[in-house]
Chain A
Amino acid sequence: MSGNLPLHVVPTSAEADAIVRRCTAAGWRSHRGFALLEPSWDLAERRLVAHGAVADEHTASQAVLAAARGAGVIAVASGRLALALAADLRRVGPLGATPGRDEPADGLDLDLEQRALLNRLAAGSTIAAAAEAEFVSLRTANRRIAAARSTLGVKTTREAVMIYIKHARG
């Protein structure tokens, strides 16, 4: 249904802007503020992403309503309000998804960049080749792979690839 609706609660507006840019690049229309005056209730087909600061309960409930109607929501909030907002948004769809790419549901706590690298390694790329194919520097690739290793609790990259493959494909 709302498979990859972008739903984000972030602490700073700089982070929000970055996500909004990625959404617009993927063909979403951005809308400042959460009060949506569209006539129809269902906004799922409109590919609309509402963004802005959430500083009070009223704005927060507007943001939740926007998400329920099928709009993306990128909210800048902090403290208890951020938690309450995140809790409700999570009931609408998974938090943290960015359009254009699917969020796999295999339970592994790896991000998409890490998954992409592990996939390349499993398919026989060297780290250098994988880095080049993913348009990142060797240093970044190594950093992401190291993070994946520590997330999965293993010492070698090969073990990380094996666990990832077993979960993602098995």
Chain B
Amino acid sequence: MAAPSSPVPGLRQRPAPAEPEAKVPLAGRDDALRQATESLREPGLVIFTGPPGCGRTRLLERLAAASSRPVHAGGGLAMLSTSPALALERATRARMPADDLPLLAEAVYSRTRGGVLIIDDLQWCDAATLAVLPILAERVPVAAALRTPNRLPGPARERLFAAATLIEVPDLTDAEAEALIRGAAPALAAHRIAQLTERGGRNPLALTALARRAGDLDAELDFDTVADPAAAAAAAIADLPRPGRTALAALGLLGRPAHPSLLGEGAHLLLEAGMVVAEGRHLRPASPWMAEIAAGLLDPQAREAMHAHLAEATTGLESARHAHAAGLADRALAAALAAADDPAAGLSTRAEALLLAAELDPSLRVRAARSALDAGRPGPALAVLEGETGPEAALARAWAHLAVGESAAAARALEAAGEGPERDQLRLLCVPPDERADLAEALRERWGAGTGHPGLAAALAGDDPEALREAEALALEAGDVTCANWCAWNSVTALVDAARLGEAEATAREAAARCAAAGAYSWQTRFLAAGAWCLVLSGTGLDHLIATSQSLADHALPAVADTLIVAAIALAEADTGALGTARARLARLSTPPGSLGELVEWLEHETAWLDGQPGPQAPESEGGLVGGLAHITGRWIAYDTGTDPAEAVKTAWPAPVEATLEAWDAARGEAFDTAAAAWNGLAAREQVRCLLALAAHTGDAPAAVAALEEAERIAEEHGLTVLAGRARRSLRRHDVRRDRRSARGTGGLTEREIEVLRHVAEGHPSRRIAEILGITAETVETHIRSGMRKLGAKTRTEAAVLLDVGGGAA
């Protein structure tokens, strides 16, 4: 019924709201929705406001879905923003008389009476719609959404806001953001989700778009593909007023929070729209990804002009970068050199600045390469030396080759170097191990005891950790960072080769901390990777290690660090039962650097052996701990496949390796006892393998059972799932059964059948399930078959699905 007091229904002057509602930040979307539902129990106007992509439309949809009254949904459209009353026509599904406001109000009311009117995208509604909404809201509940910023004419907006309850769409909560990403990319690992949330901010559109392309984070933004959500974001940004667009693009080019003065008049606009967030005195984009898109939308001239402006407004390396991007070579060079000479600059900054400067002035190339080496970045050092000749360049190039693990290439580069202690130091570092002693002798004769050159002294120290430590201190004192890092690195590898894993790990950790403090991040990652490798070999905290190492592996790392960390994760994964993942990881590894080739080859054989597919041949190996492990794996492969093992070259093996190989040669159970004791506290996985070998070789059944039980216990304690399975299988051969048969579980399935089917659901083949559970593949097949029969499934996949749906999860 029309209000009786007014001659023209709906044109009654609305009393001014008692007081503007205090803005209380809402806890989440559910809260916002609840507040809107509450306000719409009676006629009134609720407007959701927020920046592009914040999920206003989704909130309206949820509101509509929850409404008990009929819903009439419409809204503005960008291309038809001047079309009279279109938003209302969409809602009422009928032509509307737009030129007569009272008539329009009456027409809409007659069609929406008793229901709820929903108008999306107010920013594209025409004047008639905007004018009639406050009137309608007196008689019908109206929910609407408005993007900020928008270009609504001032008076229309004021009239609208005066009649409305404004609800700012709250940021996504952590849980909401995670649920959103999981929905779009179900198989994404947890740490990647955190990364995406960081980059996308709390913006649903950005998060969805990023999650969709999660496989390839650095893929070029493609604005021209209609289906790409980035295109939707780009359209929203392109619609911003120009100063706002410029300010957002500036944030994108900067890639960091910035002071408002840097962003011009648009800063205010973005802040008002909630697209940037104040962080101290700086402004941070609410969604860094949106800022990147804004920068990507700039045309080349505008981008250049903006870089020039930013070069003006920033200092140091950043200014040099922007000047370079703006094509101002002289200015970029001057700024880069100034940044490199800044005593407060860290190693990385200095290297970055000099590499930039060398691009502009070729005479700086050797200096830039040296600086990059100090920062532990041999790749860029090699790149900047491209085409450079001369003795100094040769020395730097040799260092760089050495740093990526290519000794042969380093030796070749040295041929162009001039005489001197540094060249001799490098020669020593590049020489093959069997010639090293002779060369060291010759050099000692030539230079005498006091070389006065810390680097050469270090190189002469060879594999002796104590001498290396002294040389490291000497080099640090002399300010030669590269040399000090090399000393530390050599002592880590020497300690690993001597099977002194604990000390190696401690040294690596200490060196990593020192590099972190000095800002040499590439060296730091290398030491961190080495530390992780030591921990994996010793079998300490494998699950924890996989999680923490993964975040390191996600960064772009120098080749040595990258290979080491992948190797560490792969071995940890293989030992803990994720054999498929581990082998895929190793297969993805590109050609490892020369010095790590042996290690990777051993790992490939080791994981294949753990996976029950021992390779036909033992891995090639030379000396050191990894060489020894390769031989031990070779013995196992020979034992499992019934072939003859490769003869071990007689070299000085580390004591535990020596003991193990001797035991294999003797093929007596008792000998393995000594070997197992030698590994105790050093490498749990090798200790377990010795105990397994003991049981396999001894003729004494009680001793075998005791060894196997010990092996099972140690393996389980350290999370070595696969080796524990092997121990259990051997125990069964001795008629010791772990009673895994149990009460019937869900739907008549035994717990063992459920366990096996759960593994099937995870995509493991029977062979691997057998390894993990320590039963034979035939038994696994039997479990699967009986499980399938009980579930009435025709295929394994169906069985896994039925188990999952039927609430087998318990």
Q: List the interface of chain A (C-beta within 8 A of B).
A: 1, 9, 40-42, 44, 57, 60-61, 64-65, 68, 70, 79, 82-88, 90-92, 95-96, 106-109, 121-126, 152-159, 161-163, 165-167, 169
Contact = CB atoms under 8 A, between A and B. Distances in A.
B187 A165 contact: no
A57 B95 CA distance: 23
Among A79, A83, A86, find the residue whose CB has the most chain B CB atoms closer than 10 A: A83
A95 B184 CA distance: 17
Contact of A156 (B121, B232, B763, B795): B763
10 closest Cβ pairs, A-B complex? A156-B763, A124-B798, A124-B794, A153-B187, A107-B183, A42-B93, A159-B763, A86-B226, A41-B95, A61-B79
Contacts of B90: 68
A161 B89 CA distance: 44
Given A124-B797, A166-B804, 18 more contacts: A44-B93, A57-B79, A82-B224, A91-B57, A91-B75, A107-B184, A121-B795, A124-B795, A153-B214, A153-B215, A155-B584, A158-B800, A159-B762, A161-B797, A161-B801, A162-B761, A162-B801, A162-B804
A169 B805 contact: yes
A169 B801 CA distance: 11
Contact of A125 (B57, B86, B188, B795): B795
B797 A109 contact: no
Nearest to B74: A68
Nearest to B87: A68
Interface SS of chain B: helix, strand, loop or mixed? helix
A88 B801 contact: no
A84 B78 contact: yes
A168 to B, nearest CB: 11
B80 A65 contact: yes
Interface string B212-236: 1011000000011011000110110
B793 to A, nearest CB: 6
B185 interface: yes
Nearest to A39: B95
Interface of B: 57, 73, 75, 77-80, 83, 86, 89-90, 93-95, 120-121, 183-188, 212, 214-215, 223-224, 226-227, 231-232, 234-235, 580, 584, 760-763, 793-798, 800-801, 804-805
Contacts of A162: 761, 800-801, 804
A64 B80 CA distance: 8
15 contacts: A42-B93, A57-B79, A64-B79, A82-B224, A83-B223, A87-B232, A91-B121, A92-B77, A121-B797, A126-B795, A153-B215, A155-B580, A158-B796, A159-B761, A162-B804
Given A124-B795, A126-B795, A163-B186, A84 B77 contact: no
Contacts of A95: 226-227
Among B79, B235, B794, find the residue whose CB has the most chain A CB atoms closer than 10 A: B79
Contacts of B223: 83
Contact of B185 (A57, A126, A153): A153
Contact of A109 (B75, B120, B184): B184
Contacts of B762: 159
Contact of B231 (A65, A86, A123, A153): A86
B186 A167 contact: yes
A91 B95 CA distance: 20
A88 B231 CA distance: 12
Contacts of A157: 797
B186 A152 contact: yes
Contacts of A166: 186, 804
B452 to A, nearest CB: 58
Contact of A41 (B93, B185, B580, B795): B93
A84 B79 contact: yes
Given A83-B231, A126-B795, A68 B183 contact: no
A157 B796 CA distance: 11
Given A41-B95, A83-B226, A154-B187, A124 B793 contact: yes
Contacts of A167: 183, 186
Contacts of A61: 79-80, 83
A91 to B, nearest CB: 6
A124 B803 CA distance: 13
Contacts of A40: 94-95
Given A159-B763, A165-B804, A91 B77 contact: yes
B168 to A, nearest CB: 21
Nearest to B86: A68
